[in-house]
Amino acid sequence: MCGIVGYVGERRALPLLIEGLKRLEYRGYDSAGVAMMEDHTLQVTKSAGRVAVLEQMLDFDGSKATTGIAHTRWATHGAPNDANAHPHTDASGRIALVHNGIIENYTAFKKYLEQKGVVFATETDTEVLVQLIGCRYKGNLEKAVREALAEIHGTFGIAVVCSEEPGIIVAARRGSPLLIGVGQGEYLVASDASAILAHTSQVAYLSDNEMAVISADGLRTTTLDNIPVTKDIQEVEWTLDQIELAGHDHFMEKEIFEQPEAMRNCMRGRVDLGEGKVHLGGIADVAREITRAKRIILTACGTAWHAGLVGEYLFEDLGRIPTEVEYASEFRYRNPVIEDGTVVIAISQSGETADTLAALSEARERGALALGVVNVVGSSIARETDAGIYLHVGPEIGVASTKAFCGQVAVLAMMASYMGRRRHLSQSTTQEFLEALARIPEQMEQALENSDQAKTIAEACAQRENWLYLGRGYQYPVALEGALKLKEISYIHAEGLPAAEMKHGPIALINDGMPVVFIATQGSQYEKIISNIEQVRARGGRVIAVATKGDHGITKLATDVLYVPHTLEPLQPLLTVIPLQLIAYHAAVTRGCNVDKPRNLAKSVTVE
Q: Is residue 538 part of a domain?
A: yes
With beta carbons less than 8 A apart as the criterion, state whether 360 and 385 touch. yes
In the predicted model, what is the mean pLDDT of the chain?
92
Q: Is residue 440 part of a domain?
A: no
Q: Are residues 263 and 399 in the same domain?
A: yes
Inform me whether the pLDDT recorded for 97 exceeds 80: yes
Range among 62-76, 240-254, 296-310, 393-407 rated most confident: 296-310
What single letter denotes the amino acid at residue 442?
Answer: E
Q: Is residue 277 part of a domain?
A: yes
Cα gap 386→372, rounded to integer Å: 8
Mean pLDDT, rounded, for 537-552: 95
Q: State pLDDT tens for residues 17-73.
A: 999 998 887 666 788 999 999 888 899 999 988 888 999 998 887 788 999 999 988
- Element (H or E) spanning 408, and its range? helix 403-423
Q: Are residues 473 and 586 in the same domain?
A: yes
Q: Are residues 320 and 206 in the same domain?
A: no
For residue 508, what is the DSSP state? G
Predicted pLDDT at 476: 97
Q: What is the total count of domains within the chain? A: 3
φ/ψ (deg, to 5) at 329: -70, -20
In SS3 terms, 206-255 reads as CCCCEEEEEECCEEEEEECCCCECCCCCEECCCCHHHHCCCCCCCHHHHH
Q: Is residue 297 part of a domain?
A: yes
Mean pLDDT, rounded, for 272-286: 93
Q: Domain with 516 in it: what CATH number?
A: 3.40.50.10490
For residue 319, what is the DSSP state? I
**Confidence label for 193 from pLDDT (cuts 50, 70 and 90):** confident
Q: Domain with 75 in it: what CATH number?
A: 3.60.20.10
Predicted pLDDT at 60: 80
Inform me whether the pLDDT recorded for 216 exceeds 60: yes
Partners of 249 in the β-ladder: none
From the centroid of its chain, how far is CA 105? 27
Residue 2 annotated in active site: yes
Q: Is residue 437 part of a domain?
A: no
Q: Are residues 460 and 581 in the same domain?
A: yes
Q: Are residues 396 and 468 in the same domain?
A: no
Predicted pLDDT at 336: 86
Inform me whether the pLDDT recorded for 239 exceeds 70: yes
Q: Are residues 460 and 395 in the same domain?
A: no
Q: State pLDDT tens for residues 299-342.
A: 999 999 999 999 999 999 999 999 999 999 999 888 888 999 99
Cα gap 542→582, rounded to integer Å: 18
Question: Domain boundary at 187, 217, 236, which?
Answer: 236
Taking CA 152 as the corner, what is the angle to CA 150 and CA 156, rounded to the nearest 5 degrees? 95
Q: Are residues 459 and 390 in the same domain?
A: no
Q: Are residues 359 and 449 in the same domain?
A: no
Tell how strand 3-8 and strand 210-215 pair up. unpaired
The active-site residue out of 22, 231, 254, 603 is 603
**Confidence label for 395 from pLDDT (cuts 50, 70 and 90):** confident
Q: Are residues 376 and 473 in the same domain?
A: no
Query: Structural domain of residue 584, as residue ranges?
Result: 445-595
Q: State pLDDT tens for residues 583-602.
A: 999 999 999 999 988 887 76
Cα gap 517→519, rounded to integer Å: 7
φ/ψ (deg, to 5) at 437: -65, -40
Dihedral angle over CA of 553, 556, 557, 558, nearest 10: 100
Inform me whether the pLDDT recorded for 608 exceeds 80: no
Q: Is residue 158 part of a domain?
A: yes
Percentage with pLDDT > 90 across the chain: 75
Count, residues in the chain:
608
pTM of structure? 0.81
From the centroid of its chain, how far is CA 565? 29
Q: Are residues 475 and 573 in the same domain?
A: yes
For residue 30, what is the DSSP state? S
Q: Are residues 217 and 266 in the same domain?
A: no
Question: Domain boundary at 367, 390, 425, which?
Answer: 425
Partners of 37 in the β-ladder: 42, 67
φ/ψ (deg, to 5) at 560: -135, 140
Q: Is residue 601 part of a domain?
A: no
Inform me whether the pLDDT recorded for 235 exceeds 90: no
Q: Are residues 590 and 450 in the same domain?
A: yes
The active-site residue out of 2, 266, 406, 593 is 2
Mean pLDDT, rounded, for 186-207: 91
Residue 603 annotated in active site: yes
Taking CA 409 as the corner, what is the angle to CA 471 and CA 429, rounded to the nearest 5 degrees? 90
- Look at residue 604 and give its three-state secondary structure: coil
Question: Domain boundary at 214, 236, 258, which?
Answer: 236
Tell how strand 41-48 and strand 88-89 pair up. unpaired
Cα gap 518→505, rounded to integer Å: 17
Mean pLDDT, rounded, for 429-447: 97
